Amino acid sequence: MKENNLVASVALFSELYNSNKYSSPADIIAEFIKAAIITENVWETNATDINSLLAKVYNFHLPDSVIKTTLRTKCKGLYTVQVNGNLLFNENVRKGYEEIHNKYENIAKIQSSVNEALVDFVKQKTNIDFTANSENEIISSLHNFLFDKSIESKYTSVISAFILSNKSNETFTENLNLIREGIILYQGIKYTADINELGKWNTELTIFLSTEHLFNCIGYNGSLFEQIFSDFFTLVSEINLTGKNKYGEKLIKLRYFEETAKAVDAYFLKAENFMRGRSINEFNQPALLSILKGCKTPSDIVNKKITFFNLLKEKDILQYQIKQNIYNYSDYVVEGQNFLDELQKESKNAGHDFFDVSDAEQILKLFTKINYLRDNNNAIGFENIGHIYITADRFTLYLANAVQSKMNNEYVPFAKNIDYITNKFWFKLKKGFAVDSQIPISFNVVTKAQVVLSGQVKQRVSQAFIKI
């Protein structure tokens, strides 16, 4: 399975990055280039073919510009340029190969043992009928989980349970976290045109926060989600401390749409209704319980709402107003009954059971706003995209990926999760993973497992309330 190559490769990349032996990601890429040349015994080649070697041996797919820059700046003395333009590498390429190769093989063995343990765990804890492809499907699901792919499977819950059951095993969690950290580095390099420009964020970006992230910001969804948001907010603040646009304004702005403000209002109204003796059935929602906590009268709820929005304002998280009628610009509209029908049909064909037409209509309206603000320029890379919506809602994220695949796979989706943005900022600011570093809690594989299970527990409790 080629995915196993990538898992071992990104874990090795992370281990080398943490060793303090290399001064930049480019130094490590150079080691992988050398190792690929020796592994495949290809001594005369060029940048494009080297990229193919990396894909074959390590399942790395990097921009040619990154390969060319690395060859030029980090591989001096290792090759001579031939008349035909190819590079002829010399015996100096072998230096350090055995160490890199042995580390890679050791990581691959460890990951293989993790895969075997997971398969055994699934067999013990579920009633799933195993087929010839079941083991591969389980391992692929684990890789999707570690790589933060927005793909849920029937094994997602049991994978989270498997990780949590081993959270006290330091060797186990360290190995999985190496993969998590490595994929952050790999994806950062993969989508960075010039890795020599790391260390500073230079472009403007407006991030629209969903309802749950407004609550996370103030701590209404519990300490874990508050910490995840705090790590994200710290990176935003660091960028804005020195990064300004030509008007002296912050490069990163945190905003929320009118629809989001109304959703927050609805929570406070439910709490107020409860105080007036009216029944509600959302007691599985931590944010609602946080609103009710300490309140004795409807006026207490009103005061708490005022305080909530004031706290957001203090953090410069403000409501965003679009004054123009965006529906006058038909090219920006990501809606329509035909489009909605297509999405619903594709969801059904994929075997999903969570498609809600009413929710989809509202979500697509938000996507239309994002598309309008992007001026329909969606294939210019994350750093230049200008506007994005972040949420933890799986249906919104599913629709964002579905819309992207229908419109253009090169597009940056209209919505992503907070981990995606945190990862981008972390890599761009050239942060490290040393023990004494303030590493975002969301990078930890145990935290991810907790978040996944938390969301699924809330969904099941909600379904039980509805049933009752």
Total domain count, the chain: 2
- Name which of 88, 78, 82, 64 is nearest 31 in CA terms: 78
CA–CA gap between residue 47 and residue 58 (Å, rounded): 16
User: Is there a domain that residue 464 lies in?
Assistant: no
* Domain limits for position 30: 2-98
At residue 86, φ and ψ (nearest 5 deg) are -70, 165
User: Is there a domain that residue 258 lies in?
Assistant: yes
User: Is there a domain that residue 104 lies in?
Assistant: no
Range with lowest mean pLDDT among 251-260, 373-382, 449-458: 449-458
Q: Are residues 259 and 407 in the same domain?
A: yes
User: Is there a domain that residue 427 lies in?
Assistant: yes
User: Is there a domain that residue 213 lies in?
Assistant: yes
Q: Most confidently modeled of 65-79, 193-207, 361-375? A: 361-375
Average pLDDT over residues 385-396: 93
Range with lowest mean pLDDT among 205-214, 274-283, 403-412, 441-450: 274-283
Q: What percent of the chain has pLDDT over 70?
A: 92
Q: Are residues 383 and 260 in the same domain?
A: yes
209 DSSP β-pair partners = 390
CA 271 vs CA 259, 274, 305: distances in Å: 19, 5, 10
Q: Are residues 86 and 209 in the same domain?
A: no
Query: Domain with 43 in it: what CATH number?
Result: 1.10.10.10
pLDDT at position 464, please? 45
Which of 98, 133, 165 terminates a domain? The answer is: 98
User: Is there a domain that residue 380 lies in?
Assistant: yes
Q: Are residues 368 and 220 in the same domain?
A: yes
The whole-angstrom distance between residue 84's C-alpha and the CA centroid of its chain comes to 42
Which of 37, 71, 98 terminates a domain? The answer is: 98
Q: Are residues 82 and 214 in the same domain?
A: no
Average pLDDT over residues 388-409: 89
Residue 430 predicted with pLDDT over 50: yes
pLDDT at position 290, please? 92
Which of 50, 67, 98 terminates a domain? The answer is: 98
Higher pLDDT, 22 or 432: 22
pLDDT at position 183, please? 87
45 DSSP β-pair partners = 87
Q: Do 284 and 264 contact (CB within 8 A), yes or no?
A: no
Average pLDDT over residues 147-174: 84
CA–CA gap between residue 359 and residue 353 (Å, rounded): 14
The whole-angstrom distance between residue 435's C-alpha and the CA centroid of its chain comes to 22
User: Is there a domain that residue 71 lies in?
Assistant: yes
- The position carrying tokens 């965006």 is 326
User: Is there a domain that residue 280 lies in?
Assistant: yes
pLDDT confidence tier of residue 280, bands split at 50, 70 and 90: low
Q: pLDDT digit string (tens) for 286-332?
A: 898 899 999 999 999 999 999 999 999 999 999 999 988 888 888 88
